Amino acid sequence: MAPPNPDPSRITAELWRFVRALQELEPTDTGDLYPYADKPGYHNTRRRLIERGLTNDYSIRSADDKAGPDWACGAFDWISKSAQRGDRRIINRYGQRVRAAYQARDPRLHGWREVLTQVDAGVPEGYDLVGWYTRTPDGTHDWHTHFSKLRRYLAHWPSYAGMLSILAGEPLTVWLTGRSRYSPGGKSIMWMGKVRSDPSIWVPVGQYRSHIGAAAFVILQAAGWPIVEFASAADLAQVMGPDLATAPAIGAELAALRAQVAALETRPAGTLTLTPEDRVELVAGLVMQVGPIAQQAAEAAVRAVLGSLDGASPPAAG
């Protein structure tokens, strides 16, 4: 039976669940557990840092670190007993997976601040997952991996599950299709399905449980809101199943929406003057005219046109 949370007044249930999952990954190599510590940084709680007068501590400066439970610590050190003996093979395995995710800006890193670890025979490496830069931490990270969490997400299990998926070596596609062992029932992050042969079809598919199977696809964008392009609507249908039965109708609705917005763009000068607020309301009104699935996809589907209405930049051609 798993040991209970040793300090529920300072460690969220979600963080402790993450700690236990790490132990399950390496039951014989995981050493002592170090979530909370009364010192500067994420190991401490925001409340305690302020009590100590450390109001400018780097772990409580950002908006994401000013949010979330003030009573909870935001870090954990994963001790590798084999690395303490000088054998870095296990710690390197997990460090290299984090490094690859950092280099790819893997969306599963969302909600994390930094990971300090070892990836080879050299000095330890630190990955800042907000500023996206590396640094060299102290030598103790030769034998332990430090995880720190943006405090807003200390009780947000999906972000812990994303890191566990990376550490377990799961491909991003497994996570995107809801098949991760840490995200059961298809509750994955949201992503967009795009059909190469019909640019009018953009559908949010992250919540669907079906797996990709033999579908032909390519990941166009991994960071932020992932975009997965399928060769055809039939390939996308393998992921969405019956929910894509009305794909042609969805495409027609989105095409009509784009045409309406484009018509507004080309209206003769002087016949319509819109403030930025008017434009937002107008676009929102147009979106409400299409079906519920298209409503979710409309912003991405017509972004090339909306860019001229709201000041955003249109996406690069897929």
pLDDT tens, N- to C-terminus, the chain (318 residues): 457 899 999 999 999 999 999 999 999 999 988 899 999 999 999 999 999 999 999 999 999 999 999 999 999 999 999 999 999 999 999 999 999 999 988 888 989 999 999 999 999 999 999 999 999 999 999 999 999 999 999 998 888 999 999 999 998 877 776 778 887 433 434 456 667 766 655 555 543 333 344 445 555 544 445 566 777 766 666 655 544 444 455 555 556 666 666 665 554 444 445 455 555 555 545 444 444 444 444 445 444 444 444 444 433 434
**276-287 helix and 303-310 helix, angle to the nearest 10 degrees:** 150
Using alpha carbons only, give the angle 95, 100, 104 rounded to the nearest 5 degrees. 145
Q: Are strands 75-80 and 144-149 parallel, antiparallel or unpaired?
A: antiparallel
- Tokens encoding 259: 């045409």
240-254 CB burial, b ≥16 within 10 A, e <16: beebbeebeebbebb
SS3 at position 138: coil
Q: What local confidence, expressed as pLDDT, does residue 264 receive?
A: 59
Q: Are strands 192-195 and 227-230 parallel, antiparallel or unpaired?
A: parallel
Its pTM stands at: 0.62
Rg (CA), the chain: 23
Q: What local confidence, expressed as pLDDT, does residue 311 receive?
A: 41
CA distance 285 to 231: 32
Using alpha carbons only, give the angle 284, 287, 292 rounded to the nearest 5 degrees. 130
**Tokens 């403030």, residue?**
275
CA distance 129 to 111: 9
The neighbour count for residue 212, using CB atoms within 10 Å, is 18
Q: What local confidence, expressed as pLDDT, does residue 9 receive?
A: 96
Q: What local confidence, expressed as pLDDT, does residue 238 receive?
A: 62
One-letter identity of residue 111: G
| CB 149 within 8 Å of CB 161 | no
Q: What local confidence, expressed as pLDDT, does residue 245 receive?
A: 43
Q: What local confidence, expressed as pLDDT, does residue 113 receive?
A: 96
Q: 2 Cβ partners below 8 Å, 6+ apart?
A: 20
Q: What local confidence, expressed as pLDDT, does residue 115 receive?
A: 98
Q: What local confidence, expressed as pLDDT, does residue 87 receive?
A: 96
